[in-house]
Amino acid sequence: MITFVLGMAFATLSINFFLMFMPIYEVGTAGIILFFVLIWVPIQEISKLLAVWIYAYRSRFFNSVIDGAVYGAAAGLGFAVVMNFLLLLGQQFSESGILIEQIVRFTLIIAPLQVLFSAFAGYYLGLAKFNPENAGPIVTKGLLIVIVLRSFYDIAVDLIQARIPAEQTGIVFSAQIDALLIFGIIFIPILMVMLFRKLSAYSTLYRETIHSCAEEDTGSDIEIEPQETTQLEDLRGLLDSGLLTYDEFEELRSRL
């Protein structure tokens, strides 16, 4: 809940930066690209990670890599709620259909994308917490992946919205909502699969390590020293990669 509220707070602060740099957006296609790649997307994704880092990252409840994705998703949802509300305040709705479009945007596309992008970056934040020696590169890698993917999405949707007249479309409401939905339908499953594969790989490796250690603990005493050495090396590799926390490492090592 606190992370969700912090996500809302950072969204409120971020809107001021967006307004400052809006003249860049209005220059043309080059300005649009620069605005999204250097301002719009990085500020949003960094703000959502800060919302996690300020409280959840430092709390005792953040005790596994997967928690990074969970808290990242919470921050992303809070951020999305405020951003959509502020965008609604800044628009004039001459027809009820326009308001419905915005509701569809938020419910089907904007909120899920904000949650998935921040969950993806949050996963890397979780890896960084439990691999402090390489924390900087890990967080940077996660942010860069998210910034590249989201920048591509935002730029593509924005440019299509600006160039397709509403009368040439008719899938849902207008050209603007059509572009958002079409690209969203493509991007959301891709992000879900990417995130699921990372979390699944982490969970599988963790369970296999615990199972292997348990078998060694109840198995034969023959060649115990070489087996202990191999198991310990495997555990240290998992710890260095961020797939195990220090507490998990000590617990598993005690079973060898």
Q: What is the pLDDT of residues 26-35, one digit of tens each?
A: 888 898 899 9
Q: What is the pLDDT of residues 65-124, one digit of tens each?
A: 889 999 999 999 999 888 877 766 655 554 545 566 666 666 777 888 889 999 999 999
Mean pLDDT of the chain: 77
Does the pLDDT value for residue 226 go beyond 50?
no
Does the pLDDT value for residue 249 go beyond 60?
yes
The larger pLDDT score, comparing residue 166 to residue 199, is at: 199
**Is-contact 126 142, C-beta < 8 A?**
no
Specify the pTM: 0.74
d(CA 105, CA 177) in angstroms, rounded, equals 7
pLDDT-derived band at 233, boundaries 50, 70, 90: low
For 57, residues 6+ apart whose C-beta sits below 8 A from its C-beta are: 68, 71, 125, 129
- Tell me how crowded residue 152 is: count the other CB atoms within 10 A of its CB: 15
**What pLDDT, on the 0 to 100 scale, is given for residue 169?**
42
**Is-contact 161 153, C-beta < 8 A?**
no
Counting every residue, how long is the chain?
256
**What pLDDT, on the 0 to 100 scale, is given for residue 256?**
55
Return the domain boundaries, the chain: 2-190, 208-254
Does the pLDDT value for residue 15 go beyond 70?
yes
d(CA 90, CA 96) in angstroms, rounded, equals 16
**What pLDDT, on the 0 to 100 scale, is given for residue 83?**
81
Does the pLDDT value for residue 244 go beyond 80?
no
pLDDT-derived band at 185, boundaries 50, 70, 90: confident
